[in-house]
Structures are given as C-alpha cells and as structure tokens.
Amino acid sequence: MGGSPFDIEDADRPLIAQRYRLMKQLGKGSFCVAYLAVHTKKPASHPHLCVKVEKTDNEKQRFRQLHFEAKLYEMLRHEDGFPHARHFGKEKGFNFLAMELLGPNIDDLYTANDNHFSLRCVCGMAMQMITRLESLHKYDFIHRDIKPENFMIGRYKKASVVYLSDMGLCKKFRDSTLNVHIPFQTNRSLAGTARYASVNALTGNEQSRRDDIESLGYMLVYLIKGQLPWQGLKGDDRKQKYSRICECKRQTTTEALCAGLPSEFSQYVSYARNLKFEEDPNYNYLRGLFTTRLTSLSKETPSSGRHFDWISKVPQKFADIIHPPD
C-alpha cells in the first residue's frame, strides 16, 4: 500500500476513533497494514486488538477491502473459527477495522517448528480447515486465497482453534436469493497465490468452491512434505511464471504429488481435482478422511487430544501467546 499510514516509532502513538491506541505493526498486505492496538475505553474487556488500516486516496482501488471484510466477518459471527470484527470506521484519509486479536498464522508456526509438522498435526488442522471452508461456502462465498498465511490460531485457551482470515479476495459464487450459481467464464485474472492455486484458476477459469478445496489439498501436502513440485519455477514475467506453474501442476499426477503420504492425501487431491464447476463438495467425506487417520494415529500413540505440534512443543517465539501470562 506504499508505506505504513502511521509511524508508530514516534513517542506519541496514534489514536484512532479516540479509543484504539496503535502499539506496533503486525503485518502488511497489498491494501492494508495491521497493528497491535489497545482499547483505551475498555481495557479490561478488550486489552488487545488487531486494527487494520487502509488508505482511501488510491483511486485505482476498485473497492474498499476493509469494509468488505467487516461485512463478511459480521455475516460469519456465529460460525466457529472466524475472527470477530469489533468496529469498522472511517477517518480522514483512511478506513480502519478493529477486530479480535489472534495468534500466529500457520506459516509462522511452520517456520518456528523447523519447517515440519507431524502427520497428527496436519490431520487435525485439515479437519478444521475443511469445516471453515464449509462454513464460508454455506454463505455463498468462496475465499480464493487459501494458503498457510491466511489460517491463524487463537490465543491462550483457543490455541487449538484454527481460524480462517483475510477475506479480501472472497467472492460470491451464488445468488443467495435466487440460489443461482455464477456462470462459468474463461480469461479471468488469477486471484490468489500461484503456489496453492488450482489448475483451473491458473488456466484463467472462473473460480468456485472446487478451487478452494483443491487449494487446500496442495497446502496440506506442502505442510506435510515441505515442498511442492512447482516451487521455485521462474519466468521472464508473472504470466510466464504462472504458465509454467500451471503446466507443472497439470503434469504432476496425484500419485506423484502424494508419493510417500498416507492414502488419505491422494484421495483428497483426486476428489478435489475431479469436482465440477457447480458441484457441492462433500465436506463430510473429506473431513472423514482425516478424522479416520487421526483416530488411527491416536490409538497407536495416545496424545490426550494434543494433536497440534505448537501445543505439545510450544515454540519459544510464541510461548506468551499459547500460554497465558501469570
């Protein structure tokens, strides 16, 4: 977004809407910057929040991402595993969204765990991630940017809850009133991340539920193997790079992609790749694949429900987020 809206190194930390004191920058995306903030009016009930800020002076921006995100979070407020939006507002030169502060994203946890997750951990995540997609799709939206960075864990007692976040690229795939699916189209620009994007998305086809499902499959394979065959491919420009990634994905068979993994992974990817454009995914079947495998693993090595590597072996970097302070 061309630089942070605020210099939070200054002694006077910015105050938004006369209540949100920005403390430090947490992350930065294409359109907005996320900050750790404190609620000066309600310090007891909301000691810390995440406040996202976007500039509003970019005329090329087709829509205001934060307003769109705020409405989606409000729509999903009764569903588990989505951050709660607290306050969307506008101030001169920018919009802001105050929301629930979550823990680290899955990519950061993966890196902190030496780029490795156990099979038990990935199966536990898969079950929740499939449910998050099912919940989002139930409201007639697709995510279009499934990747480790967009899944986060909760804090403290919710450290075993996996959240789906960053909804800025979501799109309606069905008219909620008429129950009519969007039409199939070609020559669409890629929305999402090429590493995890479906073959259809990279080809330029309109995305639907099947693309979220396929993207999640590639992400799960990455988290268990640490590498995907098309990583590192380059091109003279973005178009050529995407074309090479697409061709590699197309040529990589499910068997080759999932070689050395339990059969549930190849079953998942095969199912995802064969979904039709308007087809309603069988979330119970997909979730059941990993439920069965996790049950089998738990019988072999009981874990007292501690499926996730970041709980059984807490990374020092995130110890104060996963374990509450005394």
By annotation, the residues acting in catalysis are: 145
Residue closest to 167 by CA, chosen among 277, 94, 75, 238 = 75
Query: Any idea how long the chain is?
Result: 326
Q: Which of 257, 226, 268 lies closest to 107, judged by CA? A: 226
Give me the DSSP letters along 19-65. TEEEEEEEEE-SS-EEEEEEESS-TTT-S-EEEEEEES--TT-SS-H
Dihedral sign from CA coordinates of 199, 201, 205, 209:
positive
Amino acid at 4: S
| C-beta neighbour count of 23 within 10 angstroms | 16
CA distance 255 to 302: 30
